Amino acid sequence: MHVLPHWIVYSIGFLAQFFFAGRTIFQWLDSERKQKVTSPSAYWGLSVLAAYLMFVYGVLRDDFSIILGQFISYYIYLWNLDAKGMWKKLHIALRVVLLLTPVVALAILLRDAGSFVQNMFRNKDVPLWLVLFGSAGQIIFTLRFVYQWAYSRNRHESVLPRGFWIISLIGSGVIVAYGIFRRDPVLILGQSFGFVAYVRNLMIGFKKQPQDE
């Protein structure tokens, strides 16, 4: 059981969503300016920072679905930083910290497996069906980055293809519903904001980039 005041926990979550929103706005404006869907380096840098904070928020909220979603997508963000040529520009110490932090944090969480299961899956405030529903939403939402990684790796460059935005809309809708059940303003506000950017990127993509996805 975490003893931090609720306002501190929510502040961490909202700060994470601020960076998530920042990456979306930056990518959206860059795409509007160039009239094509872009994958700017700043998008991935902000993604790493936001995921770092969101992982902490998930731990403090005893929310397995948030932890799962951030853990998977985090390393794809790092891959994209490398694909954009930014990873090797970071100091070696920072690279080590970024690579190891999620693994070390997960190892600490699993050190007491009984407590982990109790907090994440037998929490009286979050019934098991809701954990599964939220995890399904996070998995769908995270699959967009798995798809983006596979698509980009095949083309040897970091891009945000049309399918990425379609999966984003579906996953985001499920997470918003989960956030409503969970009464989590961080998830509701953060995911609702992205809808406009996802739709707009789809519009730009269909107009300017016919792709073989």
Q: Which pLDDT score is estimated for 164?
A: 93
**In the structure, what pLDDT confidence band is assigned to residue 211 with cuts at 50, 70 and 90?**
very low
Query: What are 108-149's pLDDT values in tens digits?
Result: 777 776 666 665 656 666 677 887 888 888 888 888 999 999
Q: Which pLDDT score is estimated for 78?
A: 94
Say which residue, 170 or 65, is predicted with more confidence.
170
> d(Cα 94, Cα 120) in Å, to the nearest integer?
30
The mean per-residue pLDDT over the stretch 46-71 comes to: 86
Say which residue, 121 or 81, is predicted with more confidence.
81
> d(Cα 170, Cα 104) in Å, to the nearest integer?
31
57-66, 84-93, 107-116, 181-190: segment of lowest average pLDDT:
107-116
The CA-atom distances, in angstroms, between 28 and each of 38, 140, 171 are 8, 22, 19
**In the structure, what pLDDT confidence band is assigned to residue 80 with cuts at 50, 70 and 90?**
very high
Query: For the chain, what is the mean pLDDT?
Result: 84
Q: Which pLDDT score is estimated for 95?
A: 94
CB 199 within 8 A of CB 169: yes
Question: Which residue, 190, 158, 201, is CA-closest to 26?
Answer: 201
Q: Which pLDDT score is estimated for 212?
A: 43
The mean per-residue pLDDT over the stretch 201-207 comes to: 81
DSSP letter assigned to residue 193: H
Q: Which pLDDT score is estimated for 2?
A: 59
> d(Cα 31, Cα 42) in Å, to the nearest integer?
13
Angle, in degrees to the nearest 10, between helices 64-83 and 128-155 = 10
**In the structure, what pLDDT confidence band is assigned to residue 69 with cuts at 50, 70 and 90?**
confident
Say which residue, 48 or 212, is predicted with more confidence.
48
The mean per-residue pLDDT over the stretch 63-80 comes to: 86
- Which residues does 74 contact at the CB level (< 8 Å), separation at least 6? 48, 51, 52, 55, 102
pLDDT value at 210 more than 60? no
> d(Cα 47, Cα 98) in Å, to the nearest integer?
12
Q: Which pLDDT score is estimated for 43?
A: 94
Say which residue, 190 or 125, is predicted with more confidence.
190
